[in-house]
Structure 1
Amino acid sequence: MAPDLTILFRTVNGLPGLVATQRGVTVTVAAFEVAEDRITRIWAVRNPEKLTPWRTGD
């Protein structure tokens, strides 16, 4: 795991998801579509411009 990386369970667009932060800055947001207890689709965003709404402390 990368140094200073924190991974938090969050709801992302109404789906179960993960938010990864490094040194207090959001670096990845992922959402998971689940059917019958299995992940069927994963959406991940790493583009810093698209992660602006996920800034820590907002």
Structure 2
Amino acid sequence: MTLEQRVESLELNVKELESRVSNKDEQLSRLEQILRNRIDEFSAYIDTTVLSARETSR
């Protein structure tokens, strides 16, 4: 394998790795949004439960 072929091969490897990192970043962003939505839903549930408990105790 010539030096030029090695460089080309390494460049392809770098591009592939960059693509993988980009895909992982997108997946992590989606997961983060899902988790934030779930936390918001759970917070709303807790707020509703607390308000309901206060109303019941009156």
Q: What range describes the TM-score normalised by the shorter chain of this pair?
A: under 0.3
TM-score (norm 1): 0.15
TM-score by length of 2: 0.15
Structure possessing the higher relative contact order (Cα contacts under 8 Å, 6 or more residues apart): 1
**Greater helix fraction, Structure 1 or Structure 2:** 2
Whose Rg is larger?
Answer: 2
